Amino acid sequence: MSNLKKILVGKKKICKSIWFMRQAGRHLPEFRKIRSKNKDFIELCLNVNLSSEITIQPIKKYNLDSAIIFSDILMVPFALGQKVKFTKNKGPALDKFNENIFNKNNKKTFSKKLKPIYMAITKTRRALPKNKSLICFVGAPWTLLVYMLNLKEKKNKIKITQFKKNKKKIYNLLNSLTKYICLHIKNQIKAGADVVQVFDSWAGLIPSNDLNTLCINPNLKIVQFCKKNKIPIICFPKGIKKNYSKFNEKVKPDGLSLDYDIDPFWAKKNLKNVVLQGGMHPKVLLKTKDKIYKEAKKYLDIFKDVPYIFNLGHGVLPQTNPVKLRQLIKFVREYK
Ligand code: CP3
């Protein structure tokens, strides 16, 4: 059993396990080299050999404890028939959502479209040492809907009129999306992944009255599905501030990933019966070595007597120097 899984299922009380969100990709020159020759991002995610190679790049470079499969949360809308385009510096753009196309989907066609991801997982699992975890992931229903229905304004704000106009559609879609998300988790675990992380990256955009319906309940359904199938699960409801405690009490995931807005002292005090992960601001890695160590020390001291998974409060930034990441990993490993 991998170390990460042991920590999440409570078999290891205190242990340092390190991995980073977005460890594969963007910041790595090795990735950028492959990317420059593969202009279509979706195709790259569906290239079994390259996806596996990119997944293993940060493991080879940093000897991290867990690999996370190279893919994207938007592979689910893609598999459901919505065109997804990634243009440089602009982020992803999806074709207009079409309900007729969406309703024509079924489990079989969905799984078939994502088969290369499952093959890449099997290939990667074989190449990884047994004690290393292979994490798979999904976007939470709300976060996928933000992209699918184009609900986000530029400055990390929701298009409130459009949101209100589409509320019924959103509520209807949530349930069917959740089913496909659970299927995608099951397929990935069957292929060889051993832990799943759910990214609700845009949970912070949800108006507070809708938090239960749009974030907590869908995440709860996914957690219940995973518990039934004995799949260790880490949730990441980014941006929901003090509602992290309500989320934790209701959803009860095995692991809870802290975003950089969460005060780690508050988290230690208020988030119980869950394995905490991450928290440190990814921007810290753009600072000097001493500042990086000081901030890492803060997290390690606060969580020294509880199970804690070292990670960041969001993904590794593209402009991060790999040398700094290596220094941070060494510091965390050697800190007592
Ligand atoms: O290393 C890993 O974590 C595994 C790979 C991974 C990618 N995307 C590869 C990727 C993971 C876990 C994701 C998750 C993801 N994708 C999230 C949730 C995490 C988060 O950051 O909040 C979200 C919101 C997306 C959607 C997405 N995909 C965006 C907004 C973008 C464009 C800008 C960006 O963040 O990179 C992508 C493209 C993407 N996904 C790239 C990579 C390596 C960059 C592709 C490129 O080179 O152009």
DSSP 56-83: HHHHHHH--SEEE-S--TTHHHHHTT--
Look at residue 155 in the predicted model and tell me its pLDDT: 80
65 — phi, psi (to 5°)?
Answer: -80, -20
Distances (CA, A) of 115 to 108, 133, 162, 303: 10, 21, 34, 39
- Ligand 1 pocket member 73 (CB < 6 A): yes
For ligand 1, atom 25, the nearest C-alpha belongs to 73
How high is the pLDDT of residue 336? 87
Cα gap 68→197, rounded to integer Å: 9
Asked if 232 and 254 count as a contact pair (C-beta separation under 8 A), the reply is yes
Give residue 49 CA to ligand 1 midpoint distance, Å.
19
- The finding on whether 26 has its CB within 6 A of some atom of ligand 1 is yes
Q: Alpha-carbon distance 164 to 20, whole Å?
A: 35
Which residue shows structure tokens 């396990």? 17
DSSP string, 176-221: HHHHHHHHHHHHHHHHT--EEEEE-TTGGGS-GGGHIIIIIHHHHH
Q: Among the atoms of ligand 1, which is closest to the Cα of residue 20? A: 3
Q: Do the bridges between strand 91-94 and strand 84-87 make them parallel or antiparallel, or are there none, so unpaired? A: antiparallel
What is the whole-number distance in angstroms between the Cα of residue 22 and the centre of ligand 1? 7
Please report the atom of ligand 1 found closest to the CA of residue 23: 1
Ligand 1 centroid – CA 24 distance (Å): 9
Instruction: Report pLDDT for 14.
Output: 67
**For residue 318, which atom of ligand 1 is closest to its CA?**
36
Helices of type H across the chain? 3-8, 29-37, 41-45, 48-62, 75-79, 99-103, 107-113, 115-127, 141-148, 160-165, 167-191, 211, 217-228, 243-251, 264-270, 289-302, 322-334
Q: Exposed (0-12), middle (13-18) or buried (19+): which is 278, by Cβ within 10 Å? A: buried
**Which H or E run contains 258?**
strand 255-258
Instruction: Tell me how far apart the alpha carbons of residues 12 and 10 are, in angstroms, rounded to a whole number.
Output: 5
In terms of Cα–Cα distance, which of 3, 198, 60, 234 is closest to 52? Answer: 60
Q: What is the pLDDT along the chain (336 residues), one digit of tens a residue?
A: 888 999 999 877 667 799 999 999 899 999 999 999 999 999 999 999 999 999 999 999 999 999 999 999 999 999 999 999 988 777 899 999 999 999 999 999 999 999 999 999 999 999 999 999 999 999 999 999 999 999 998 888 999 999 999 999 999 999 999 999 999 999 999 999 999 999 999 999 999 999 999 999 999 999 999 999 999 999 999 999 999 999 999 999 999 999 999 999 999 999 999 999 999 999 999 999 999 999 999 999 999 989 999 999 999 999 999 999 999 999 999 998
What spacing in Å lies between the alpha carbon of 315 and ligand 1's midpoint? 8
Q: Whose CA is nearest to atom 10 of ligand 1?
A: 72
Q: Which residue has a Cα nearest atom 27 of ligand 1?
A: 92
Mutate to test the pocket of ligand 1, among 19, 20, 22 (most ligand atoms within 8 A of CB): 22
Output the six-digit token pair for 259: 């975003």
Whether ligand 1 lies within 6 angstroms of the CB of 152 is answered as no
309: CA distance to ligand 1 center in Å? 21
Alpha-carbon gap, residue 45 to 32, rounded angstroms: 14
Cβ pair 152, 158 in contact under 8 A: yes
* Residue ID of nearest Cα to ligand 1 atom 30: 91
User: Given this model, what pLDDT does residue 121 score?
Assistant: 98
Q: Are 97 and 30 in contact (CB under 8 A)?
A: no
Q: What is the DSSP pairing of strand 195-199 with strand 233-236?
A: parallel
Q: Determine if ligand 1 sits within 6 Å of the CB of residue 142.
A: no
Note the pLDDT of residue 106. Answer: 97
CA of 90 relative to ligand 1 center, distance in Å: 12
Residues 196 and 138: beta-carbon distance below 8 Å: yes
Among 73, 144, 238, 258, which is best to mutate for testing ligand 1, by the most ligand atoms less than 8 A from CB?
73
C-alpha of residue 336 to centroid of ligand 1, in Å: 33
